[in-house]
A = this chain, B = another copy of it.
């Protein structure tokens, strides 16, 4: 994309059009730029038509002003845009989140993305999972009564999962203790996503040696512990914000978008990424799989025991400079997080 060569004035013009359109959502006319560029509307029209030939601008109809094409946004993002400075106000709001130590890391990320969503009026998504390098540190079983127990698994990164354990028939507390001891002995150190296979292939064969009512106990534990780390956690903030943008003035379009936000598969799919170096990626319009009229900005994160993707979805006509700066700020802070 850097291979398109533009004159200084063309760059200036493209910049003005993109930024004006981002602000107003209306096609930009040649006349409106005369004063700023210090030349006549006819001259500007010639340049505009040049930029249109290069595929950077579009018209909504034959005699309309110009709007940026996808390629135009892309050029703007890649070559023209300057990251904006964070205002003290924005920074302050985010800082209070990152300072709260007793929040779990996942909550910190979710809250900070919610703030960004509120600041920008776009929709934020956080898609987190327990990182597979989480290793079990301890398995704890707390009895509630003769048949019901709470099983708790804690990992070295501080992740906690708990499940109900229900026995089909009563088992002596002694045996349960033995079972827990056995599990602890063999499972501590196992990555959390391998717990169930470890249960099945290493523990199941040997428990009969140690435990009398092995079948009941094994089944109960297996049921409880079998689905760890498979459930990605989706957090979505303010899908409605986007609908307020003037370009979404069509009922079916709105319905379509709201439906997409309701569909967890589609949202999860935003994650599935080809190149996952830790950088912030911008997918404009048809570059993303979510919706051709939208831009998706996303990046992966990995912080103590949690990993996932944070994303912001807005109209193609997005305040790219501001968003990039905000996301960068969050990313830096996530990396800093100790807990």
Residues of A that sit less than 8 Å from B by CB: 101-104, 137-138, 140, 142, 144, 148, 150, 152, 154, 156-158, 160, 162-166, 223-224, 237-241, 243-244, 249-251, 254-255, 258-259, 261-262, 338-339
Contact = CB atoms under 8 A, between A and B. Distances in A.
Contacts of A251: 249-251, 254
A164 B258 contact: no
A262 to B, nearest CB: 4
30 contacts: A101-B166, A102-B163, A102-B164, A102-B166, A102-B224, A103-B164, A104-B163, A140-B142, A140-B152, A142-B154, A144-B156, A148-B338, A148-B339, A150-B158, A150-B160, A152-B152, A152-B160, A160-B160, A164-B339, A237-B262, A238-B262, A239-B262, A240-B259, A240-B261, A243-B254, A243-B255, A251-B254, A254-B255, A254-B258, A258-B258
A164 B243 contact: no
Contacts of A137: 142, 144
A120 to B, nearest CB: 15
Given A144-B156, A150-B158, A262-B239, A165 B255 contact: no
A234 to B, nearest CB: 12
Contacts of A255: 240, 243-244, 254
A148 B259 CA distance: 42
- For the residues of A in contact with B, the DSSP-based class is mixed
A144 B137 CA distance: 8
Contacts of A144: 137, 156-158
B224 A243 contact: no
B164 A223 contact: no
Nearest to A159: B150
Contacts of A240: 255, 258-259, 261-262
Q: Which 3 residue pairs of A and B lie closest in terms of their CB atoms, listed nearest first? A: A240-B258, A240-B259, A101-B166
Contacts of A162: 160
Nearest to A339: B164
A255 B244 CA distance: 7
Q: Which of A160, A224, A250, A255 has the largest count of B CB atoms less than 10 A from its CB?
A: A160
A338 B249 CA distance: 50
A103 B163 CA distance: 7
Contacts of A152: 140, 152, 154, 160
A61 B103 CA distance: 56
A163 B107 CA distance: 11
Nearest to A138: B142
A173 to B, nearest CB: 15
Contacts of A244: 255
Nearest to A105: B164
Q: Which of A148, A166, A240, A255 has the largest count of B CB atoms less than 10 A from its CB?
A: A240
